[in-house]
Structure 1
Amino acid sequence: MTTTMLRPAKSCEALRDWKLRRELRHEELAALKADIDQALNEVAAGRLSEFNTDRIVERAG
């Protein structure tokens, strides 16, 4: 039976990459939560109008 072990340099690089990806996911999740909180606050304050796809298309064009 043969086992493959990562060399220390590769292992450190893999760990560093994993930590970086984890931090990016954390930042993206925090940004998403902030967007959701902002939208909920706008709903609570009555600042949002009814969802209207025609209006969205019109504004985008």
Structure 2
Amino acid sequence: PSGAPDNPLAGLYRFKKGFGAEFTEFIGDYDLPFSPVRYFLWQWGMAAYEKYLNYVKHKQMGQEEN
């Protein structure tokens, strides 16, 4: 946020600063599950899906090399 020249967003920072913008840091995001069981299943399912996509991606890359 200091506008350091080596930062990839330095130009954007200077542009917005020119309009009088101020840097504000927010708390971030968090999950508040209403149903712990459904939340657990969702998290588990997403992790399994990402592993599957990674497997398929690497399998396709292996076929392209042959």
TM-score of the superposed pair, with normalisation by structure 2: 0.48
SS in 2 for 1:30: helix
TM-score of the superposed pair, with normalisation by structure 1: 0.52
Unaligned runs of 5+ in 2: 1-31
The structure with the largest helix share of the pair is 1
SS in 1 for 2:34: coil
Q: What is the total number of aligned residue pairs between the two structures?
A: 35
- 1:5 offset after TM fit, Å? 4.2
Which segments of structure 1 move beyond 2 Å, counting only runs of 4 or more? Answer: none
How far, CA to CA, are the matches of 1:6 and 1:32 in structure 2? 39
How far, CA to CA, are the matches of 1:5 and 1:12 in structure 2? 9
